[in-house]
Amino acid sequence: METLHTTNMRSAIGPLFLAASTHGLVALEFDARLPGQQSIRPNPRHLRKEKNGFTFANSLRLLQPYVNELEEYFAGKRRKFSFPLDLRGTDFQLACWRALLAIPYGETRSYAAIARAVGKPNAFRAVGMANNRNPVAIVVPCHRVIASDGTLCGYGGGLDTKRRLLELEGALTRVLAA
């Protein structure tokens, strides 16, 4: 059974949960989740410590490099993360998440643009579902994806959090000006 090292951190947008394997960051989740939103974390009502073949070991020491870069991001001192990711998903999800990673800091793309980027121009709804399943919020920047008409829509951390992240990056003023 694989052990994921975990920690919780405070951030400008609220508490965050981080989990990493020996290969990189597996999950970055908002503490507050919307109903039905997926989580790698075990249900606290369960006494079992494992989920999906994982055991969890709390380890701020091992996750400190991730926490440091996230703190720099929230302080406006970091635009790109340098730590490794251990993304796990379907081939289509991985393609979508790689396309998200290509969106520069301070910019946005539409779901349709991401669909075109992954070679599936009519799959904008499927792109939305892949974004919904993104296990590494903020770092894999699904907050940078907006509707084709320029409006903010759908975000696992809530639209207020999406707005705050885009404001932090200076992207919201460009969205509103478009």
Q: How far is CA 176 from the centre of its chain?
A: 23
Written as one string, the DSSP assignment of 114-157 is: HHHHTT-TT-HHHHHHHHHT-SBTTTS-GGGEE-TTS-----TT
pLDDT level of residue 41 (50, 70, 90 thresholds): low
| pLDDT, average across residues 56-84 | 96
Q: Measured on CA atoms in the order 133, 162, 104, 138, is the torsion positive or negative? A: negative
Tens-place pLDDT, residues 81-128: 999 999 999 999 999 999 999 999 999 999 999 999 999 999 989 999
Tell me: pLDDT of 174 over 60.
no
| pLDDT, average across residues 55-83 | 96
pLDDT level of residue 173 (50, 70, 90 thresholds): low
- The kind and range of the H/E element at 93 are helix 91-101
Beta-carbon count within 10 A of 20 CB: 23
* pLDDT value for 178: 44
Catalytic residue ranges? 142
Tell me: pLDDT of 46 over 50.
no
| pLDDT, average across residues 16-34 | 89
* pLDDT value for 177: 43
User: Taking the model in full, what pTM does it have?
Assistant: 0.88
* pLDDT value for 50: 45
